[in-house]
Amino acid sequence: MNENVKQFFDEIAINYVHDDTSLIDELLDSMYLSTCKRILDLACGKGIISKKLADRNNGEVIAIDLSSEMIRLAKEKVHDPRVTFINQDYYDFNSEPFDAIVCFDAFPHFLDVEGFVEKTNQLLKDDGLLVIVHDIGRNELNAHHKQQAMGVSRKLKTPEEEMIPFLKYFKPIELTESDNYYKLIMSGIPHHL
């Protein structure tokens, strides 16, 4: 567990506000999740997309976050029996396989990318989807992290560069970015191949 990341998000949780949610629904609708019955909302924070994910698949959403404060606030905000919140470090998390893992506005805070790739491969079904998405552009995100999150995030690279360590287990479906969003969607390669 990266104790610095946990402490950082525990401290900012109460004041963390995701002001502009206008793009979230559009991004979620473009993620190929309609047939995914079991989704992991990875680094769910205060549950910004947790219920939205459950609404799209009418299935089970497990929402996990390293920050106990973020999880506490998410539980206060989201009351949906399809969503289960868990306070745990992703790298230590074990579960039955998921149809999809969605990492919304959080990927640069996973400092051990190789560990992230291995854990994600372990937790996804053979043909499962991994979605890494931000509702702001990469340049704005990197500038924000440089100013606000020194030491608890890394610089986000282009989708093509970020895809490289995943190629061992995943094939790209969509690698796109603009000034307003960042999207990396990939599918697991069946393990028996």
The predicted-structure confidence for 39-61, as pLDDT tens digits, reads as follows 999 999 889 899 999 988 778 99
The residue ranges of DSSP E strands in the chain, in sequence order, are: 38-42, 60-65, 83-87, 98-104, 124-134, 170-177, 182-188
Looking at per-residue confidence, does 157 or 191 come out higher?
Answer: 157
Q: What digits encode the pLDDT tens for the residues 82-140?
A: 999 999 999 999 999 999 999 998 899 898 999 999 999 999 999 899 999 998 899 88
**Percent of the chain surpassing pLDDT 70:** 84
Is residue 193 in a domain?
no
The separation between CA 75 and the C-alpha centre of its own chain, rounded to angstroms, equals 18
In a domain, 75, yes or no: yes
Domain-embedded: residue 161: yes
Q: Rounded to two decimals, what is the model's pTM?
A: 0.89
Domain count, the chain: 1
Asked whether residue 26 is assigned to any structural domain, the reply reads yes
| In-domain check, residue 51 | yes
> Can you give the CATH number for the domain in which 48 is found?
3.40.50.150
Rg of the chain (C-alpha set): 15
Cα–Cα distance, 44 to 74 (Å, whole number): 8
| 3 state SS of 61 | strand
Does residue 64 sit within a domain? Answer: yes
Q: Cα separation of 138 and 179, whole Å?
A: 7
Identify the pLDDT of residue 69. 87
- Give the domain range for residue 126: 3-12+21-188
CB-based contacts of 148: which residues, under 8 Å, 6+ apart? none
- Give 6 or 75, the one with higher predicted confidence: 75
